[in-house]
Amino acid sequence: MPTVIGQSTDPNQPGVLGTPLDTGNAAMSYPAVGVKGDGGAGGPSPGPFAPGRTAIGVYGTSADPNGAGVLGENTGGGIGVHGTSQGFAGQFDGALQVNGNAHVTGNVQVDGDHHVTGNLQVDGDHHCNGQMTVDKDIILSAADCAEEFDLQAAGEVEPGTVMVLDEMGTLEPSRQIYDKKVAGVVSGAGNYRPGMILDRRDTAHKRAPVALVGKVFCKVDAQYAPVEVGDLLTTSPTPGHAMKATDPMRAFGAVIGKALQRLPEGCGLVPILVALQ
């Protein structure tokens, strides 16, 4: 039998109301708590409350499409609902809809569809097995859009390396000048990280994310010609490095991108704007 049952026939009144009277509770690490649920470490539940789940701190359900299983509100700018977990900070077996603002400091997994009409910030990993619909902009703080490719060799390839296609469609570091098989630059060098990675999956091959568009740090060798801001870059004889494209006829189809910093001499990592052509 449930320990507490809350029912209300008034649509404007809750079945159970918890109001904190204390100004603080250091043992619970909260300024004040209205309702706290602790499921302990019991075994799977055979009953109607989330069958198969282990111990549950707070469980809410609603059959009303306009209702809410669990509703938390904070009109003072704080947190409406706060939950902690050793695994996912938020896990949803059905659909998830966020109409306001949500900030999750852990990982989120949604097994159904995901619809966000407000702001959602996730500091950990976010995994959605269904369809995700976002009514506003998606803002990515990282620099480039990359796609994973199979590598020819099993060894590691450093970020910033210029890669070309081989006859099997896998990638290897560039070694020839003005190579029209150039595919891009391995993402993740310097202080740039990929904002989006396409085609990430498990295969028998070693894979690496290659920047397709955006800003990425690229290995450049300036011994063939000094590199200035705005110069077009192509493949060089130095393995995995780019160089300034000085021959427009040969550069057509072999351009990696445009330099965003100068490199007057030597080898170094140079931020470039990827523009394969």
Q: Which domains does the chain have, with CATH numbers?
A: 1-6+16-63 (no CATH), 85-139 (no CATH), 144-274 (2.40.300.10)
DSSP codes, 24-87 = -BGGGTBS--S-----TT-----SSSSTT----S-------TTS-SS----TTSS-S-----SS
Count the residues in the chain: 277
What per-residue confidence (pLDDT) applies to 111? 72
63 pLDDT tier (thresholds 50, 70, 90): confident
82 pLDDT tier (thresholds 50, 70, 90): low
Q: Are 204 and 245 in contact (CB under 8 A)?
A: no
| Better-scored residue on pLDDT, 54 or 66 | 66
What pTM did the predictor assign? 0.63
What per-residue confidence (pLDDT) applies to 27? 44
Q: How far apart are CA 108 and CA 128, in angstroms?
A: 8
**Dihedral in degrees, nearest 10, Cα atoms 224, 227, 230, 236:** 30
Q: Are 61 and 69 in contact (CB under 8 A)?
A: yes
What per-residue confidence (pLDDT) applies to 28? 46
